[in-house]
Amino acid sequence: MATSMTHLLVTVLLVAAHTAFAETNMLQDLCVADLKGAKVNGYACKDPSQITPEDFYYIGLAAPADTSNTAMGSAITAGNVEKIPGLNMMGTSMSRIDYAPGGLNPPHLHPRASEAIFVLEGRLFVGFLTTTGKLISKHINKGDVFVFPRALLHFQQNPNNAPASVIAAFDSQNPGTQSVGPSLFGANPPIPDDLLAKAFGVEPQVIQKVKGKFPAKK
């Protein structure tokens, strides 16, 4: 009897899990995001009668962004659901990243997406870290593609004397970004100095100095 009940419970759980997975797929032609509506793990659908071609259109990735006023010499122009409401529920988005000579898109991760970049111009040094600490890196050129797995730390650097740019594609309408430096040293409330000092094997005074370079997030 106990074995039968166990089999029944496992069957019910498997069916429930399969149903939950299946329901993540679209159940209608489209679901344009209502950016002014309530947000619960995403956006509700806009009234179909209010949908326009502009909901599926965005010109923001066409031109290079200004990198002159950025601390790292790189600028990211997002093409996510907040810029293209028609992406809602489609599980995809794009960005453009522009790099000044010597520019860097510092180590960061995307918790909700893998990323593939296509080099529009220039030459980059790119790479990611596995959970075992192995660095997978390569110099890539115009026309090349490089892929960063979901939720792994990665970076792009322009070590050259000319600008560079890429188009990045994500398998999420809102991939999210968590940068190492600002997350650790600009947290709000702040992470205690002694904790970070022990984690990095340095004195608390060093941590305080680094924190001065990363204003606390609001």
Per-residue confidence band for 6, with pLDDT thresholds at 50, 70 and 90: low
Q: What is the pLDDT of residue 165?
A: 98
Q: What is the pLDDT of residue 22?
A: 38
Range of the domain at 202: 182-212
Count of domains forming the chain = 2
Residue 110 among known ligand-binding residues: yes
Residue 80 among known ligand-binding residues: no
Is residue 108 domain-shared with residue 204, that is, in the same domain?
A: no
Is residue 105 domain-shared with residue 187, that is, in the same domain?
A: no
Integer angstrom CA distances of residue 149 from 113, 125, 170, 217:
8, 17, 10, 27
CA 124-128-130 angle, to 5 degrees, is 165
Q: What is the mean pLDDT of the chain?
A: 89
> What is the distance between the alpha carbons of residues 137 and 124, in angstroms, rounded to a whole number?
10
What radius of gyration do the chain's Cα atoms show?
22
Q: What is the pLDDT of residue 41?
A: 78
- Give the residue-averaged pLDDT of 71-95: 94
Q: What is the pLDDT of residues 147-175, one digit of tens each?
A: 999 999 999 999 999 999 999 999 998 89
Look at residue 101 and tell me whether its pLDDT is greater than 90. yes
Is residue 186 domain-shared with residue 171, that is, in the same domain?
A: no
> What is the distance between the alpha carbons of residues 140 and 123, in angstroms, rounded to a whole number?
6
> What is the distance between the alpha carbons of residues 74 and 165, in angstroms, rounded to a whole number?
9
Is residue 74 domain-shared with residue 170, that is, in the same domain?
A: yes
3-state secondary structure of 51: coil
Residue 105 among known ligand-binding residues: yes
Look at residue 130 and tell me whether its pLDDT is greater than 80. yes
